[in-house]
Chains A and B, each alone.
Chain A
């Protein structure tokens, strides 16, 4: 039973979450017409033996989508962050108005 530390709700059993796949892949912009970019996003995966960045949604709790770094060899979880906060750090132009 993996125990995942949700930033909002605390340490929870993994069966409170829904797995959402690889979080390290770049999702193209909604109107990006390039089939190669979409193909890479949907199908190409690194599948590392080691730390894997992946999405989990806390469906039984706050329903936030999280980015978890999990070691695929032993399930040790190195970090858990809100996906939204990661996006915020990526695009500083999006800072909220005062």
Chain B
């Protein structure tokens, strides 16, 4: 067979000067620029393109659009597999390598097609009924094989090599659909002065106009409309773009494909996900033709009548020479005439007893055989249709054919309109579902609203575009639209399932659902359309039932003796067609998944041996490689270094809030459990904030800088929450307090020098400052300058050692850090990371995040004395509730590991020694560390107050590693209980 033997030598919208090479199932073929993969396959006489989902029946190309149920291929180009792509929307480009799906060893000879013999066992709901024995576990055994047998494409498992992008867009009027209605709406809205976005999923504008001959009046109208819109400054044309979902606020989810035929774009994002925010939306999404239901209606060589016409007029492909067109309405006759005109031998089987005389007359002129009151009952032909059995007024007859075109009417494409709850309504006079009442900012036009004629669509689009622009306040008068009348006759869309033969009559091609399955569902009581869908799986494939929903609904309505509205319809949800997950992620993948936050000393850490750790969005030094071979060795060495000499820690990530105003002191008194109003200027205090329900919210240190000014620190994790909370109270609860709160987290680089040598180091680093204990007492503040930037030194300790927190302007952070290390060299000052930081505070018995976990109160944490006799602060009243005083409430204790060579783990559950370790236990371990001071593991835990006291033994159980460790309850302060080191 020669290449493109079904291609006509003239006509169509393909560029015969630009041939395109591609491969299908290993065969090298030629198509042309402007082809889809489907049109190129048809041109080359390929009729078999896949095997069906369940029964592995041979299938061919059914449609010319995204509603395609059968012709799903896998693209295996450039080291990437992408399955389940409809060949009918795949723009043909050089080098495409496509494979058919769901067949082995080959499309022509598929071993699993024998599953057709098992069909009776595989009917609807089979997995609830068959394969259920002999044992209860038997299903799991069968399921393994059944799952392998069913399915369509196979996904790849390599990382996606393509780039994707996300974009934000805005418009006054968004128009979905670039057919006659949409184009007309765009012209009207633009003329009225609105900013317009026209969205079209195809790579050409025109919609149904592309099914008209390329030298027709329709084509001229299209050219003119396109030229006008392209030259407008306020119109954005988005081709190759699918609107996949409509969201609240008239936000439209779009996916735009990169033009695959333009090699200059090869490095750009393959798909871009755009959120288009529109003030008003016009839906001009058209309608999808319905199949006819008869036995073996799924054979390769059966296609929608409008698809055949599109392949003929748009792609210059004559898919058959001996064609039967089976229809219930006038629209298919346009295909009849065009196919006959192109030289095919055409027979029309019109279900209606008396089709319009004008059509019959034209048919006679063209030599078309008209069989009125006739329908197809059955088809024969395995890999390609060859014979039809017809039923008419004169009884049954046979006719040979190589192409069968079907048209059971049209279903308006209402999916997007119903994403936000506008329920489709069935209209008898239209014979289909159209949207119910739109809200004020949404409009519909064209065949989506049941206006099936081109002239009607253009007028309707003009109206909708004008109204949509007017909604946005744009009402410059639009010129009347240029007319285009294609002479379509109004057609009542009749849908019936007349008699079928003995073979399977398919209702949903993709999911292999037959009329028999619908009947079975009905017999078994699954009558509601929601049950029908889920029991039979109809409409659940990648095509989401675009060509099957109506037939199934009509079928069930007939069985129930109900009307279509009584039978109902299922809900449409986004996405309209499949969206690659990569597109939704855009560039936020890998290390760009979330933004990275770095401290002013980050460069130094990276260059000086720090192993970095993600702590929320921040990068922090975990440990320094010079301290040890791995984290466990390193943190112990760093702890020792701090306790014996001194350590330097980057604490820039702490939340820092500037609190100012005449009422600042009153404000702090209300939000902290302990008092702050009387804190002297130049002093700092550790504070704890509660939530309104009495649970501890966060802790930090707040310093009084002046009468009306405080410097608050919070934990790193809660910084944003605390700021919002303060603003909430000021805006909604206490608006008369004159207080301003501002985040200054990034203003300051912060570092802590901790250890017995810390004062000496500070002295060496700041020779001009008096850092003696007399000048800088514990919890005191010293303010000064360094290198022209503000400097603050706070004497406070997290580790239990003498320590100082040093704050300097962020741009001087790294400089000060290296200066301190230099000054500290004679004293053995070493940097330490967050693992050691955490370990030191555990050894000292300080609570932190693992204890302040949103479930604990001040009393639970042993901090009840902080509140003393105070009242009137946030959380005070509810923290006193009886449940929080119960004797079995879990309270903070210390644990030391008493088994040689074993360790404690955070999260371990605590039991008594003689108990069986099942259930919730009596508490949990919250933080642990190896203690160099004690020589064994220690930890903080929350343990029920009435179960054991200091000195007793408990057992810490960690089921994830099957560990059981004995521990003794001790005071949580594991060293220096008198706090002498702070002053040492």
Could you tell me which A residues sit within 8 Å of B by CB distance? Answer: 1-3, 13, 18, 20, 23, 27, 30-35, 38-39, 41-43, 55, 57, 59, 63-65, 74-75, 83-84, 87-88, 91, 94
Contact = CB atoms under 8 A, between A and B. Distances in A.
B724 A57 contact: yes
B728 interface: yes
Interface stretch (B212-220, B247-255, B797-805): B247-255
Given A20-B728, A57-B727, A35 B881 contact: yes
Nearest to A35: B877
Interface residues of B, number: 30
A32 B731 CA distance: 19
Given A13-B251, A35-B877, A38-B692, 12 more contacts: A1-B248, A1-B249, A2-B248, A2-B249, A3-B277, A31-B871, A42-B693, A55-B732, A57-B727, A75-B248, A83-B732, A84-B732
B9 to A, nearest CB: 51
A25 B277 CA distance: 34
10 closest Cβ contacts across the A-B interface?
A: A3-B249, A31-B872, A65-B731, A1-B251, A87-B735, A38-B877, A83-B732, A75-B248, A83-B731, A2-B248
A30 B663 CA distance: 15
A63 to B, nearest CB: 6
Nearest to B669: A30
Nearest to B743: A63
B212 to A, nearest CB: 38
A38 B724 CA distance: 21
Contacts of A94: 735-736
Interface string B211-255: 000000000000000000000000000000000000111110000
B877 A30 contact: no
B871 A33 contact: yes
Nearest to B420: A74
Contacts of A27: 732-733
Contacts of B872: 30-31
Nearest to A90: B735
A86 to B, nearest CB: 8
Contact of B275 (A1, A55, A59): A1
A9 B202 CA distance: 38
B506 to A, nearest CB: 38
Nearest to B249: A3
A35 B878 contact: yes
B734 interface: yes
Interface string B301-335: 00000000000000000000000000000000000
Contacts of B731: 64-65, 83-84, 87
A32 B670 contact: no
B880 interface: yes
B53 to A, nearest CB: 35
A18 B724 contact: yes
Interface string B272-284: 0001010000000
Contacts of B878: 35, 38-39, 42
The DSSP consensus for interface residues of chain A is mixed
Interface of B: 247-251, 275, 277, 420-421, 670, 692-693, 720, 724, 727-728, 731-736, 871-874, 877-878, 880-881
A28 to B, nearest CB: 8
Contacts of B727: 57, 63, 65
Contacts of B720: 59
Contacts of B420: 74
Given A33-B877, A74-B421, A88 B735 contact: yes
A27 to B, nearest CB: 5
Contacts of A65: 727-728, 731-732
Contacts, number: 72
The DSSP consensus for interface residues of chain B is mixed
Contacts of A83: 731-732
A87 B731 CA distance: 8
B724 A59 contact: yes
B678 to A, nearest CB: 18
Contacts of A33: 871, 877
Contacts of A64: 731
Nearest to B736: A94
A97 to B, nearest CB: 12
Instruction: Tell which of A38, A39, A94 has the most Cβ of chain B within 10 Å.
Output: A38
A30 B872 CA distance: 5
A32 B732 contact: no
A38 to B, nearest CB: 5
Instruction: Tell which of B248, B727, B732 has the most Cβ of chain A within 10 Å.
Output: B732
Nearest to A65: B731
Contacts of B249: 1-3, 13
15 contacts: A1-B247, A3-B249, A13-B251, A18-B724, A23-B732, A30-B670, A30-B733, A39-B878, A43-B693, A57-B727, A75-B248, A83-B732, A87-B731, A87-B735, A94-B735
Contacts of A34: 877
B735 A57 contact: no
Contacts of B735: 84, 87-88, 94
A39 to B, nearest CB: 7
A34 to B, nearest CB: 7
A31 B875 CA distance: 11
Contacts of A43: 693
B718 to A, nearest CB: 14
Contacts of B724: 18, 57, 59
A30 B728 contact: no
A3 B421 CA distance: 17
A5 B728 CA distance: 19
A52 to B, nearest CB: 15
A75 B420 CA distance: 10
Contact of B251 (A3, A32, A55, A57): A3
A83 B732 CA distance: 6
Contacts of A59: 720, 724
Contacts of B736: 91, 94
Contacts of A41: 692
Contacts of B277: 3
B248 A32 contact: no
A91 B732 CA distance: 12
A18 B732 CA distance: 15
Contacts of A87: 731-732, 735
Contacts of A31: 871-872
A55 to B, nearest CB: 7
Contacts of A20: 728
A13 B251 CA distance: 10
A57 to B, nearest CB: 6
Contacts of A74: 420-421
A26 B421 CA distance: 34
Contacts of B421: 74
Contacts of B248: 1-3, 75
Nearest to B878: A38
Contact of B734 (A30, A35, A55, A88): A30
A64 B732 CA distance: 10
A18 B167 CA distance: 23
A63 B727 CA distance: 8
Nearest to B692: A42
A88 to B, nearest CB: 7
A16 to B, nearest CB: 12
B246 to A, nearest CB: 10
A65 to B, nearest CB: 4
A64 B670 CA distance: 21
A23 to B, nearest CB: 8
Contacts of A42: 692-693, 878
Nearest to A28: B877
Nearest to B277: A3
Nearest to B247: A1
A37 B678 CA distance: 29
Nearest to B882: A35
A59 B247 CA distance: 22
Instruction: Tell which of B248, B250, B693 has the most Cβ of chain A within 10 Å.
Output: B248
A55 B728 CA distance: 9
Nearest to A27: B733
